Amino acid sequence: MTADIKKYCLVIDIGKTHVKLHVLNQAFDSIFSNQMKNVVELGGQYPSINTDAIWQWLVMGLKEAASLYHIAAISITTHGATAALINRNATVNDGLVLPILDYEYQGINDDIAEYTALRPEYSETFSPDLPAGLNLGRQLYWLKKQFSDEFSQATDILMYPQYWAWRLTGERVSEITSLGCHTDLWSIKNNDYSTLVDELACRAMLPKLVPASFDLGQILPELRAELGLSADCHVFTGIHDSNASFLRYRLSQKDAPFTVISTGTWTILMATQVELANLEASKDMLANIDAMGQAVACARFMGGREFEAVCEQAGSWLGEQFDETDLQRVIDEQVFALPDFSDGSGPFGGNKSAFIGTVTQISGMALASIYCALMMDYQLDMLNAKGDIFIEGAFLKNPLLCAVLNQLRSKQSVYLSMDATGTVQGAAYLTILNEVDCYINKSASETSSLSSLEAYRDKWRKLVDK
């Protein structure tokens, strides 16, 4: 992007729950945005992503943005555990030989023993054995077995951000943050495709590996004309969403250790300067690979999903007001929410969820807030995380939750991102990665003053570790 202040960057952000489109100015502030709900298509052979609905919405959004701003760069960020099987020679516009599988589909677990025998050792990939389709390799195995004719027609396997980049440019590439995100397909140990890729006989279907910041060039001429975009608009490779958020901190914190907690449907903790030997597959701990190609120790749970489940089951609605008095009552009444509320994810995945104590006497919002703070605190200890902690995303709307975590992490500093679109900003940075001067707009979290919080935490850990 040039110094021309009239030129803008557009970011396509495809999350599991919502699809968003942002236009950013040269200060990387979002000055235009649209959003649609991302609804799983339940018809057909299996639950799948409604790519037609997303594409139609994107076309309308791109047209509107192009009519208002001179778009010079487009970057794409999406959720992980998702890939498209395409035939590059297909006459249909979407190129898909099979619908893109929804990673939450449980039906692919029917052949779990067969797939388990094929998947590489954890010490090779640092990819734990995850439920449903959260290991992308399991999706590919299942699709190849169940739909062998269609699978055989595929010429390429595109990671999800790169699928949309291909729709825009016709260029086929792969990128490491999506490949290295608990897919079973990448060997961190060998810095190469894992043995599973050859077991599936799909190495030739994976396009060349390029950086997330690679310039793929112009949009396809006919599409460019339809959208009203200029010839100087270039599309960049794109990036896994958690890594987009993390990139900003990697650039700004330089050599200092830190942890980013990205919150939304998933809560993902990404900690630097942590030995991969600290990771335990059974605790939903894994290594991602960042945009710089470095392995990053991670721990995860479905924070947004579990927060909603605890609230609902405790009789609260998500807009219910609560304060520190309600948090203290949860502790005083010794009411505990015990995982798992997410159907198999997180450090206690597979445990039967339960409440201990009289739930009707406390605020469900307060209980859910303490629960999620305790989960993050537990995972920070499991990682042996060092340095400052930065919280991004949905939990910023719940400052009391962040304040509880800050009280629990008395030896570390907890900061709240003041950038409402951190993932989007990280994706935008890819368009001028070698020039960007990254600054994190943050504020120190408040700290709660809850009595007996540490004793409550200790009891909760004994209950969940049984």
Asked if residue 111 has pLDDT above 90, the reply is no
Report which of residues 232 and 466 the model is more confident about.
Answer: 232
In order, the DSSP letters of 372-407 are HHHHHHHHHHHHT--SEEEEEEGGGG-HHHHHHHHH
Residue 451's CB is within 10 A of a number of other CB atoms, namely 10
In order, the DSSP letters of 52-118 are HHHHHHHHHHHHHHHHHSEEEEEEEEE-SS-EEEE-TT-SSTT-BSSPPBPTT-GGGGGGHHHHHHH
Asked if residue 384 has pLDDT above 80, the reply is yes
Residues 179 and 430: their CA atoms lie apart, in Å, by 17
Question: Helix, strand, or coil here: 237?
Answer: coil
Question: Helix, strand, or coil here: 173?
Answer: coil
Asked if residue 419 has pLDDT above 90, the reply is no
DSSP class of residue 346? S
pLDDT for the residue 91? 83
Asked if residue 1 has pLDDT above 70, the reply is no
pTM for the model stands at 0.88
pLDDT for the residue 265? 85
pLDDT in tens, 243-258: 998 999 999 998 999 9
* Mean pLDDT, residues 96-100: 97
Asked if residue 4 has pLDDT above 60, the reply is no
pLDDT for the residue 242? 87
In terms of Cα–Cα distance, which of 18, 25, 145, 127 is closest to 73? 25
pLDDT for the residue 440? 86
pLDDT in tens, 314-338: 999 988 999 999 999 999 999 999 9
Asked if residue 421 has pLDDT above 90, the reply is no
CATH class of segment(s) 247-466: alpha beta
- Mean predicted lDDT score pLDDT of the chain: 94
Asked if residue 346 has pLDDT above 60, the reply is yes
Asked if residue 3 has pLDDT above 50, the reply is no
Asked if residue 102 has pLDDT above 50, the reply is yes
pLDDT for the residue 329? 98
Domain boundaries, the chain: 7-237, 247-466
Residues 6+ apart with CB under 8 A from 203: 193, 197
pLDDT in tens, 115-165: 999 999 999 999 999 889 999 999 999 999 999 999 999 999 999 999 999
Strand partners, 23: 10, 32
Asked if residue 172 has pLDDT above 70, the reply is yes
Taking every pair of C-alpha atoms in the chain, what is the biggest distance, in angstroms? 66
Least confident of 3-7, 64-68, 217-221, 380-384: 3-7
Asked if residue 420 has pLDDT above 90, the reply is no
Confidence of residue 345 (pLDDT cuts 50, 70, 90): confident
Fold match between 7-237 and 247-466?
A: yes
**C-alpha distance from residue 249 to each of 246, 376, 425, 466 (Å):** 5, 19, 11, 36
Question: Helix, strand, or coil here: 414?
Answer: strand
pLDDT for the residue 344? 85
Asked if residue 200 has pLDDT above 80, the reply is yes
* Mean pLDDT, residues 208-229: 97
Residues 370 and 42: their CA atoms lie apart, in Å, by 35
In terms of Cα–Cα distance, which of 336, 457, 324 is closest to 402? 324
pLDDT in tens, 42-61: 989 999 999 999 999 999 99
Q: What are phi and psi of 391, to 5 degrees?
A: -105, 135
With pLDDT > 90 as the criterion, what percentage of the chain qualifies?
86
Q: Do the beta carbons of residue 394 and residue 264 sit within 8 Å?
A: yes
pLDDT in tens, 300-319: 999 999 999 999 999 999 88
Residues 378 and 464: their CA atoms lie apart, in Å, by 11
User: Dihedral (C-alpha) 199, 237, 182, 354: value to the nearest 10 degrees?
Assistant: -140
State the architecture of 7-237 in CATH terms.
2-Layer Sandwich (3.30)
pLDDT for the residue 6? 76
pLDDT for the residue 75? 98
**C-alpha distance from residue 223 to each of 35, 62, 126, 214, 228 (Å):** 22, 11, 40, 21, 8
pLDDT for the residue 298? 95
What element of type H or E holds 22?
strand 18-24
pLDDT for the residue 439? 80
pLDDT for the residue 2? 43
